[in-house]
Amino acid sequence: MSLVIRNGEIVTPNERYVADIFCEDETITRIGTHLEVPNECKTVDATGKYVFPGFIDPHVHIYLPFMGTSAKDTHETASRAALVGGTTTFVEMICPSREEKPREAFELWLGKAEGTSACDFSFHMGVTRYGESTESELREIVSRGVSSFKVFLAYKGAFGVSDEELYRTLSLAKSLGVITTAHCENADLIQQLQMRLLSEGKTGPEWHYWSRPPVVEAEGVHHLMTFARMTGAHVYVVHLSCAEALREAIRAAAEGVNVWVETLIQYLLLDRTDAEKPNFEGAKAVMSPPLRDKRNQDVLWNGLRKGFISTLATDHAPFDFATQKVMGRDDFTKIPNGIPSLEDRINLYYTYGVKRARIDLHQFVETASTQTAKLFGLFPRKGTIQLGSDADLVVYDPDYRGTISSRTHQMNLDYNSFEGFEIEGRPHVVTVRGQIAVRDGKFVGENGRGRFLQRQPNHFAT
Ligand code: URP
Ligand code: ZN
Ligand code: ZN
Nearest to 371 by CA among 427, 451, 312: 312
Q: What are phi and psi of 299, to 5 degrees?
A: -60, -40
What number is the average pLDDT over the span 322-345? 98
Distance 386 CA to ligand 1 centre (A): 34
What pLDDT was estimated at residue 381? 98
pLDDT (tens digit per residue) in 12-71: 999 999 999 999 999 999 999 999 999 999 999 999 999 999 999 999 999 999 999 999
This prediction's pTM: 0.98
Q: Which residues contact 73 (CB under 8 A, 6 or more apart)?
A: 62, 81, 316, 318, 340, 342, 411, 412, 413
The CB-side HSE value for 179 (13 A sphere, CA atoms) comes to: 25
From 288, 291, 339, mutation site for ligand 1 pocket: most ligand atoms within 8 A of C-beta: 288
Residue 191 Cα to ligand 2 midpoint, Å, equals 16
Look at residue 393 and give its three-state secondary structure: strand
Confidence tier at 264 by pLDDT (50, 70, 90): very high
Given CATH 3.20.20.140, say whether it is the number of domain 55-375.
Answer: yes
CA 328 to chain CA centroid, Å, is 25
Pocket of ligand 1 (CB under 6 A): 61, 183, 239, 287-288, 315, 317, 337-338
Nearest-angstrom CA–CA distance, 216 and 202: 19
Give me the count of residues in the chain.
462
Give the separation between CA 69 and CA 127, rounded to whole angstroms: 20
**Ligand 1 atom 4, closest CA:** 338
According to the 3-state scheme, what is the secondary structure of 7-71? EEEEECCCCEEEEEEEEECCEEEEEECCCCCCCCCEEEECCCCEEEECEEEEEECCCCEECCEEC
The amino acid that residue 78 corresponds to is A
pLDDT of residue 327: 98
Locate the DSSP E strands across 54-197. 55-60, 65-66, 69-70, 87-94, 120-126, 148-152, 179-183
What are 213-247's pLDDT values in tens digits? 999 999 999 999 999 999 999 999 999 999 999 99
Task: Provide, rounded to the nearest whole percent, the portion of the chain with pLDDT above 70.
Answer: 100
The answer on pLDDT for 462 being more than 60 is no
DSSP 337: P
CA angle 111, 116, 119 (to 5 degrees): 110
Ligand nearest to the CA of 340: 1
pLDDT tens-digit series, residues 3-14: 999 999 999 999
User: What does pLDDT average to over the chain?
Assistant: 97
Ligand 1: nearest atom to the Cα of 337 = 1
Q: Could you give phi then psi for residue 236, rounded to 5 degrees?
A: -140, 115
| 249 and 221 Cβ atoms separated by less than 8 Å | yes
Give distance in angstroms: CA of 267 to centre of ligand 2. Answer: 13
> What is the number of other CB atoms lying within 10 angstroms of the CB of residue 286?
23
Confidence of residue 460 (pLDDT cuts 50, 70, 90): confident
Spatial CA neighbour of 304 closest among 366, 259, 251, 256 = 366
Residue 178 has pLDDT above 90, yes or no: yes
Closest C-alpha to ligand 1, atom 1: 287
Rounded Cα–Cα distance for residues 284 and 413 (Å)? 11
Q: Which of 239, 262, 314 to mutate to test the pocket of ligand 1 (most atoms within 8 A of CB)?
A: 239
Candidates 61, 128, 155: which one to mutate for ligand 1, based on the most atoms within 8 Å of Cβ?
Answer: 61
Distance 60 CA to ligand 1 centre (A): 9
Q: How far is the CA of 152 from the centre of ligand 2 (A)?
A: 7
Centroid of ligand 2 to alpha carbon of 32 (angstroms): 43
Residues 401-421 have a mean pLDDT of 97
Bond prior to 289 in cis (omega within 30° of 0) = yes
Q: Cα(315) to centroid of ligand 3, in Å?
A: 5
Give, as residue ranges, everything with CB less than 5 Å from ion ligand 3: 315
Q: Residue 286 CA: which ligand 1 atom is closest?
A: 1
- Closest residue by CA, ligand 1 atom 8: 288
Ligand 1 atom nearest residue 61's Cα: 5
For residue 159, give the ligand 1 atom closest to its CA: 8
